Structure formats: structure tokens, C-alpha cells
Chain A
Amino acid sequence: MKSGTLRGAILSSTSILRPALSTIAAIVGALVAGAMILISIGFNPGEVYYTVFHEAWYTEFGIRKVLIETLPLLIIASGLLVCFRAGLWNVGVQGQMIVGGLFANVVGYVLGPLPSLLIIPLMLMAGMVGGMLWVLPSAVMKARWDLNEIVTTLMMNFIAIDLELYLVKGPLRDPKISTHPMTTPVVATAELPKIPGTQVHIGLLIALGLSVVIYLLMSRTALGYQFRVLGFNINAARYAGLPISRLIVMSLLVSAATGGLAGAVQVAGVMRNIDPEWVPFYGFEAFPLVFLANFNALAIIPFSFLFSSFLVGGDLMHRAVGLPIFFIDVLLGLMLIFFGAAEAVRHLQLKWRRRKG
């Protein structure tokens, strides 16, 4: 009886603290390890970290840029959450984003005469379709033949980059821009309008809405529950009679649709057209975010903001302090490693305590 209540007490206390502790450990661990790297290459960590957040949060240019850069991270991370929860690792968001962006770009000038209210939703949908098309082979190969989706989705990134180069230099090149190969820009009516009174486009509202939708999908619907069962234990899912293949394909499609949507939002809200050099790295940067948010779609909102602050602040810090922005990728990678370590340590601790109790 006594040991039973003790165990209960430990379990309940850890279940409240668990998410927060690993996340805090990951961020603190990465910042400390990052500080050691900075000292070893002759930078002052205090100055670097201060500058990153000062530039990101205390300048008007910084905070606007942080909000804009939050979007792709938030959209991508919301989608990744779904497939990660289902136990599938889509590392091909980069390619899905590129293809989604290309699709949206084409729709945004081919359907130019349409009014904004029609063309904008069509562009965003085109982006999602592009993203989904790009994951479909990997999803089907995973569902039918159990081919590792990590390998195939990653290969599709490189294929997408080459496809982009080919299309932007060839068939989609705007003949009116002669200096540099670029696609034809989307028409003015296809650009995402600004949220009234701000400098931020309505993509922010779309992204926030998306994370709420994903939150409800995962916590309140049968489909979300089935995804979680699949991710928890594929054998359990099989015994429960769940349609495994369909769930695999669907979860990857959701994550790719958001990848494509992120590409479309970048085109419609920020870039207007595509440069052959455009190789977004958000797919990898969003990866640690999903873990730090402990697979909670609402928690992804503040973490996207935090990650965006790192990226934007890091970029601006580069100009101020002279430290290359690549340091930020080191930090994000370290966060993921420290998160993995922290979760593992908590696991071991819990078991050790249970055995004693």
C-alpha cells in the first residue's frame, strides 16, 4: 500500500514536470555547450546571446522579421507533429516546401485575373497539393513495402532542389527578368494582405489557426487517437484492427501538405517569385522544435517564436558581432541531442525509483 501510493506520487509529479524538465534541460544544455564553443573560438557568449535576443526583440525590424520567420516554422512543425506522433519521420519537408512553393507560384500568375478572395485560397491549396505529391511516393513505398521513409524522403529533397533549378532556369523562367533566372512573380492581388494595423501578413493567422486545428485533431478526434496508437506501438495498432497502411499514408500526407503550405505562404507573403538559390532549411530547423514542445501543437506556437528569434537574431547578430549565423544551427542541433539525452535520463531515473519503491 505504502509503496503503491509512493509510486503514484512519483508518477503524478513527474507527469506534470516531465515535459517542462526535458525541454528546459535541452535549452540550457545547448546554451551552455554553445557558450563553451563560443569561448573556444574567441567570442564572448554573454555578448553573443544578448545581441541575438536584443536584435530579435528590441528592434522594430527584428521583431517584424521574427514574426514573419515564425510562420514557416510554425506551419511545418504543426504538420511534423502529426507524422512524428504516428512514428513516421518525414525529413523531406525541404523538398515538399520547394514543390509547394513552385505550385503556388505558378497558380499565382496563371490565374492572375481572379479576385484575391479566390486566387489566394487556390494558391495555398496548390502549395498543399504540391507538397503532398512530393511525399506520395515515399508514403506509398512505406505503406506497401515498409521502405524506410527517412531515406526516401531525404532523397526527394535533393531531387526537388534539382527540379527547382531546372524549372526556374528553364520552363518557368520569367523572360522579362533578363539579369538573373527567376520565376514570373505572382500578381499583386495574389499577395497575402497585411493584418490591419501591422506589418505582418495574414499568413500568421493561417499558421495559428493551423496549430489549433492540429491540436484538436490530435487530442479530440478518433483519427488523432489512431495516429498516436500507431506511433506508440505498431503491433498494438495491428491487433486493434486499425488500417495501418492508410494511417501511414495519411500522416505523411498531412505533414507534407503543411510543408507545401509553408512554401506557398513564403511565395504569397514574402518572396512573390522563386530564385533558383532558394533552398529552405526550415524542415530541419523545425525538427527539434516538435520535441521541445513535447508534441503539443499549442506549445509549438511559443517555441516557433523562440526558434525564429534565434534564427533572425542570429542573422542580425552576424552583422553586429561578426559571428557566422551557422552557430544557430549548432545550437538547434544540440538542443535536439540534449533533449534526447534528458528524456533518456528521466526514463532511467523513473525506472530506478520504481524498482526501489
Chain B
Amino acid sequence: MSEVIDPIIVMFLTFFFGSMLRSATPILLTALGETYGESAGVLNLGAEGMMLIAAFTAFVAGVTANSVLVGLLAGMGTGMLVGLIVAFLVVTLQADQIVVGVGFDIAAVGLTSLGLRVIYGTAQLPLLPPRETINIAPLSSIPIVGALFDQPFMVYLAILLVPIFYYGLYRTRFGLKVRTLGENPMVADTAGVNVFLLRYVILLLVGAMAGLAGTYLSLFQVSFFRDNMTQGRGFIAIGVTMFARWNPVNVLFASLLYGGAESLAGGVQALGFLRTIPNEVVLMLPYIFTIAGLVALARRARLPPALARPYRREL
């Protein structure tokens, strides 16, 4: 098969399929968390900041302890810590979710860039050896699409979480409570759901997922930290959540769409494929795809009515 096609095209397609899943993973992880958040009426605009701070702490902890596991736990823990702070602000104090979220995004850019210089100064950043990939034996030897089955462990983890998150949200009592919370918090409250506690739990989950995504960016996709390395991925994840209409299975497809666009851009750059199209135009693709996806799938999508509103018990 591969001898009849131009070898450059084979290389390009192999790269494309291999990197599509890797590019989709950070979006998928964050968006799975956001799916629960938005279903419960919490619009976490701080996702970008959570990812960035987690990417940073995961990198620092991972390099210091020379252990990916330590980095992973640090990144996830940081995400949860930020989630807890956000929960205190928007659930207990009932602060405006947009104001708090954007505040965290701005502070995160400053904190991580500052921290990087305070810890490492102007010296060369330490590097971790790149992550081993896990290949699924017979499948990974198929030409071209075999690249789909030779991925770092976090990629498989993210995909395995999709059915779990779907089941959790649509097939369990917990999921029903979460969705009721986004539909009408008063009904949930009357039915005996602890609205405040549940929103805390949800924000911890949202934080943990954004933390995993950040960890993935600095420890799995590359092995270093760079200023503002999230590059809008937190916001893309929010967009993906919306055009997937809060369904984890759709979130997977939407993330793959984004991942496909990013890996197309990367492949064209890496292999000098299609030289007639300027690099910069290709780099726009992931963002254009996100907007196009929103237009195609989220037109007049019905938002959870309680989204971004604090719950107050009226007397």
C-alpha cells in the first residue's frame, strides 16, 4: 500500500494521525471537567489559568523530584487547589464568575512567568527525558493509522475517561443532581441536594481535570515550560464544551476536530508540505476550526439556565 503513495504523503499522514490524539488530549481533559461544571451551572472561565498554573507546578515538581508521577500529582493537586479557591469565591461569596475567572487567567500568566524566572533565573531550563509511549501491539504496526495506537499513557487515560464521564453524568443519581443544579438550583435544593457542597465538589473536579490537562502540556506533550504555553486552550475547551452540548461523547469528537486542525498545522510545518500556503495561515486553523465548530453545532444551543449565576436561598 505505502509503496504506491508518495512517501512524503505517508509520512505526513502518519504524523497527522499520531499527533491528532496528542493535540486533542489537553482540550479533551479540560472540556470533560467543564462539561460537569457547565452542566451544574458553573462557567469556569479560569480554565486557562488553572491549566497554566498546573503546567508550571507539574513541570517544577516533576523536574525537582525527577519523577513524572510527582509532577502529575502536583499538577492535579494545583488544579484542585485553584478549583477550591474559585469555589470559595463563586459559591460561598457568590462572586461574579466571569470577573473571578478572568482575574485568575491574568494572574496565572503573571505568576507562572514570574515563578519560572525566580526559580531558574536566566539559566537554561532543565529538561525531562521525553515520555515513553505505550503501543498497542498488533494495531500499532498498521501503516499510517498505526500511529493512533502508539501514544503516551495520558492520551489513553483521557479517552478512557470519556465513557466514565458520560455514564456519570447521564446514568447516575449524581449526574442527575448535577444536571438539575444547572437547570434549576431551587428544585435541586428543595429535593434535598446540598447545592453548595455539590458545586464545591464539581469545581474540585473541574480543577483536577484542568490540572491534568496542564500537566499533560508541560510533561507529556513537551518536556518543558514556556511562558503562556496554554495558548488559549482553556478557552478552546470551554468552546468545545459548548459545541458538544455538554455531552462527553461529543466532547471527544469536538476535541478530535481541534486536535486534527492542530496536527494538520504541525504536520504542514514539520514536513514543509504544501509550501504554497504560508505557515502562519496554517497556524490559524485550530482557532478557525473552533469557531466553525461553534457555528455549525452550537447555534441556538440551549445553555443550562442557571449557568454563571450564583445560587442564593431567597427567603
Contacts and interface: CB of A to CB of B under 8 A. Distances in A.
B278 A166 contact: yes
A263 B313 CA distance: 46
Interface string A311-348: 00000000000001011111111111101110111011
A150 B303 CA distance: 15
A344 B93 CA distance: 6
B280 A287 contact: no
Given A158-B287, A326-B117, A340-B100, A151 B105 contact: no
B102 interface: yes
Contact of A327 (B114, B242, B298, B301): B114
Interface string B72-102: 0000000000000000010001111011101
Contacts of B298: 145, 147
A162 B284 contact: yes
A154 interface: yes
Contacts of A165: 280
A287 B106 contact: yes
A16 interface: no
A166 B102 contact: no
B110 A327 contact: yes
A117 interface: no
B96 A343 contact: yes
B231 interface: yes
Nearest to B97: A340
Given A150-B45, A324-B114, A333 B89 contact: no
A277 interface: no
Contacts of B294: 141, 147-148, 151-152
A157 interface: yes
B315 A148 contact: no
Contacts of A152: 239, 291, 294
Contact of A41 (B95, B118, B232): B118
A112 interface: no
A148 to B, nearest CB: 6
B295 interface: yes
A209 to B, nearest CB: 28
Contacts of B103: 288, 333-337, 339-340
A340 B104 contact: no
A341 to B, nearest CB: 5
B173 interface: no
Contacts of B45: 150
B60 to A, nearest CB: 13
B105 to A, nearest CB: 7
A284 interface: yes
A91 interface: yes
B299 interface: yes
Given A151-B294, A155-B235, A166-B280, A348 B93 contact: yes
B94 A329 contact: no
Nearest to B89: A341
A154 B279 CA distance: 21
Contact of B235 (A154, A162, A284, A335): A154
B232 A333 contact: no
A248 B170 CA distance: 35
B107 A330 contact: yes
A302 interface: no
B291 A337 contact: no
A326 B113 contact: yes
A331 B110 CA distance: 8
Interface in A159-174: 159, 162-163, 165-166, 169-170
Contact of A291 (B99, B239, B291): B99
Contact of A332 (B100, B106, B232): B106
Contacts of B231: 158
A135 B260 CA distance: 26
Contacts of B104: 333, 337
B275 interface: no
A355 interface: yes
Contact of B113 (A156, A324, A351): A324
Q: Among the interface residues A148, A287, A337, which one has the most CB atoms of the partner chain B within 10 A?
A: A337
A287 B101 CA distance: 12
A326 B106 CA distance: 10
A347 B106 CA distance: 25
Contacts of B236: 151, 155
B51 to A, nearest CB: 14
B93 A341 contact: yes
Contact of B278 (A150, A170, A332): A170
B169 interface: no
12 contacts: A145-B299, A147-B295, A155-B290, A284-B106, A330-B111, A330-B114, A332-B107, A336-B102, A336-B103, A337-B99, A340-B96, A341-B89
Interface of A: 37, 41, 89, 91, 137, 141, 144-148, 150-152, 154-159, 162-163, 165-166, 169-170, 284-285, 287-288, 291, 324, 326-337, 339-341, 343-345, 347-348, 351, 355
Given A158-B232, A165-B280, 6 more contacts: A147-B295, A157-B232, A331-B110, A337-B103, A339-B99, A344-B310
For the complex of A and B, list the 10 residue pairs with the smallest distance between their C-beta atoms, beginning with the closest: A333-B107, A329-B110, A336-B103, A333-B106, A166-B280, A330-B110, A337-B103, A344-B95, A340-B99, A151-B239
